Amino acid sequence: MGNFGNLMDGFVIALSGYHVALMVAGVLMGILVGVLPGLGAPNGVSLLLPLTFTMDPVSAIILLTSMYWGALFGGSTTSILFNIPGEPSSVATTFDGYPMAKKGEAGRALTLAFLSAATGALFGVVVITALSGWVAEFALKFSSPEYFAVYFLTFASFIGMGSASPFKTLVSMMLGFAFATVGMDTVSGSLRLTFGFTDLIKGISFLVAVIGLFGIGELIVTMEEGLRFEGIRAKVTPRDVLHTIARMPRHWVTLLRSCIVGSWMGITPGGPTAASFMSYGLAKRFSRRKEGFGSGEPAGVVAPEAADHSAGTCAILPMMALGVPGSATAAVMMGGLMIWGLNPGPMLFIERPDFVWGLIASMYLGNVVAVVLVLSTVPLFAAILRIPLAIIGPVIVIVCFIGAYTVASSTTDLWFVLAFGVAGYAFKKLDYPIAPLVLAMVLGDKAEGAFQQSMIMSKGGLGIFFSNGLVSTIMALALLLLFWPLAGMLVSRLRRHGM
């Protein structure tokens, strides 16, 4: 009853007229961010974050999460109508969504995608609701060694469980740590890597880095590829919606499996992209109509969309509960929490239950708002993509630079945006993951602080990280994940040599 009572209190907060208006505004901005090339959820949230600095934290997180849901739906729209994924996690949707649209079933494909996404998001929120009470009870067991062990587990998970090359993930993460150390050490007060520049004393803002990496970098890649947005015109009618709802029970096994996969990949650092591809592969493997995949099979739309949204939703739980973001967007949101004066972690559930449960309640409502708005605005946002890239491109660049300047009103940040934009382009071309770099920039200071405090507690002894059952278990799991790719390489080499 405790969780149910807290959830009802959360609905009282989320159902205010102001918060519902924020949901509508956030979803509409998110859909726009999702359909425009070169933007996307991480960059859209980071551009909006400076506008929330003066807002109440509950209102601010409702606005940002609503934008996140809208961006995910916007990515699905472009995948189906234009064969252009607005989000990396929407790539798998193009495999069958666009062929369905070319067959004249664009309305059905869009409705199928949105309803599957809504089911996945609802499943994810139910998981968060169920686990939140347990997290609150777990809160008092954490001290500095446990926090460092959790951060270490997060970094190791990206290396051991990520879809990218472990070496490339490690390189990306190390660069993030290097950027995070720029400025003043919070424990000793000494300056590091400032090279005599006073503008570097405050460090490099992760928001500026995200805007450059995801905004400018993605846009350069888009312009280089010379994309032409010649999509399929479509609108979703009430008949499409009712017909698709009636046929949804046929896909209940695919939906349930995809929701479970997505929730797991969201709570762990697998992320929405890996979840969507994994669910698509499982749907094809267990389908009786394998030959239909890739040519307009409805299950090929249901699986990635349900997994994408359940993963995107569940990524918020470890961000709030442990201070461990499960995706790049969750990392940006966690940075927002710290800017608003909140400390992500187990104690957040005890110290600010109004924030936690207001957010969880808004996630139920925000996804309903997102489904209604995206179904009714498909023609409008699809028409935006028919504007030439020569016009959209400069507008996106201007928005990115304005967003970066509003973070600290510093002209130095504009140069950083440009530098990170070039770095983002290079990462894309060389197939290096960007999310680990953002994660390391956000968590670097917190991990370093927890490590230093642990060393002070133990007078320099590393044994403190194995001093009790909880921290020993977390560290052992982290070390296992860290060396998992190496073990896999050794096994493969032994098999090649017949050993």
Q: What is the pLDDT of residues 469-494, one digit of tens each?
A: 888 888 898 888 888 888 777 777 77
Tens digit of pLDDT for each residue in 82-98? 766 666 677 788 888 88
Does residue 231 have a pLDDT over 70?
Answer: no
Confidence bin at 1 (pLDDT 50/70/90): very low
Does residue 409 have a pLDDT over 80?
Answer: no
Query: Higher pLDDT residue, 389 or 53?
Result: 53
Task: Kindly state whether residue 176 falls inside one of the protein's structural domains.
Answer: no
Does residue 269 have a pLDDT over 70?
Answer: no
Bridge partners, residue 184, by sequence: 191
* Mean pLDDT, residues 423-439: 84
Question: 116-120, 185-189, 271-275: lowest mean pLDDT where?
Answer: 185-189
Task: Kindly state whether residue 192 falls inside one of the protein's structural domains.
Answer: no
Task: Kindly state whether residue 209 falls inside one of the protein's structural domains.
Answer: yes
Confidence bin at 273 (pLDDT 50/70/90): confident
Instruction: Print the domain residue range for 322.
Output: 2-150+205-407
- Per the prediction, the chain carries an average pLDDT of 80
pLDDT at 280: 84
Count of structural domains, the chain: 1
Does residue 147 have a pLDDT over 70?
Answer: yes
* Mean pLDDT, residues 224-239: 62
pLDDT at 21: 92
Q: Which pair of tokens denotes residue 411?
A: 């002209």
Task: Kindly state whether residue 493 falls inside one of the protein's structural domains.
Answer: no
Task: Kindly state whether residue 378 falls inside one of the protein's structural domains.
Answer: yes
Tens digit of pLDDT for each residue in 300-323? 888 888 988 898 888 888 888 777
Task: Kindly state whether residue 195 falls inside one of the protein's structural domains.
Answer: no
Q: What percent of the chain is predicted at pLDDT more than 70?
A: 88
pLDDT at 251: 81
